[in-house]
Amino acid sequence: MRPIITALLTVLALCAVTLPTASAQEPPPPPEQEHRTREERERFQDRLRLMRMIALTEALELDEATAAKLFPYLREGDEAQGVVQEQIREHRQALKAMAEQEVFEDKAIDEHIRAIGKAEQAMSGLRSEQVEGLKRILTPEQRLKFLLTRAHLERELREALREHSRGERRERRDERGRGERGRDGRDDD
């Protein structure tokens, strides 16, 4: 059962990361653009939720009635966590912009760092509340399996994303190398 989940997670994660743009009329974002659009992030999150639903349904051996309670409950938690995650992302982007522009204002940097810390604490609290609320929906055995499955899914996703990023970096490096060479294969001077 575990190899099936692992394979499914890897395929879905890679599909989610390499999503095409929403409309065929819109050109894809340039390769140097590192940040995905809000729409792409939302589609990515939807695919992650689907992966989680499949994995949890299998791992927890959910019946229809329990699944009908669990997944809307998790979605509510996801939405609250998404708001906090967006705050974290915005502060990190602000810090990155400051670093790129070489603007090192102590007060501004500290404000962003404090805001990230507070948001991470809020995220931790939301996750704890979500797990606590599972008592109303799942049996003790299912709660244990939920925690183990969630940790496994997060590890698998991190690894798939890491591999995807490595591949993208390798492609960019290869493209830069090809761009530095002339058509005859020799370096341009």
Q: Where are the domains of the chain?
A: 2-18+36-161
Confidence (pLDDT) at 160: 85
94 and 112 Cβ atoms separated by less than 8 Å: yes
Confidence (pLDDT) at 89: 94
First to last CA, the chain: 57
Q: Which two tokens stand for residue 151?
A: 């940790």
Confidence (pLDDT) at 11: 45
Per residue of the chain (189 residues), give pLDDT as tens.
455 444 444 444 444 444 333 333 333 444 444 456 878 878 888 888 898 899 999 999 999 999 999 999 999 999 999 999 999 999 999 999 999 999 999 999 999 999 999 999 999 999 999 999 999 999 999 999 999 999 999 999 889 888 888 888 888 888 887 766 555 555 554
Indicate the residue type of 54. I
Give the count of beta carbons closer than 10 Å to the beta carbon of residue 112: 17
Confidence (pLDDT) at 96: 95
Confidence (pLDDT) at 61: 96
User: What pTM did the predictor assign?
Assistant: 0.64
Q: Which two tokens stand for residue 130?
A: 């979500």
Confidence (pLDDT) at 186: 54
Q: State the Cα–Cα distance between residues 89 and 85, nearest whole angstrom.
A: 6
Q: State the Cα–Cα distance between residues 20 and 40, nearest whole angstrom.
A: 8
Confidence (pLDDT) at 7: 47
Cβ neighbourhood burial of 119 (10 Å; 0-12, 13-18, 19+)? buried
12 and 47 Cβ atoms separated by less than 8 Å: yes
Handedness of CA 73, 79, 85, 91 (dihedral sign): negative
Q: Which two tokens stand for residue 30?
A: 């340039």
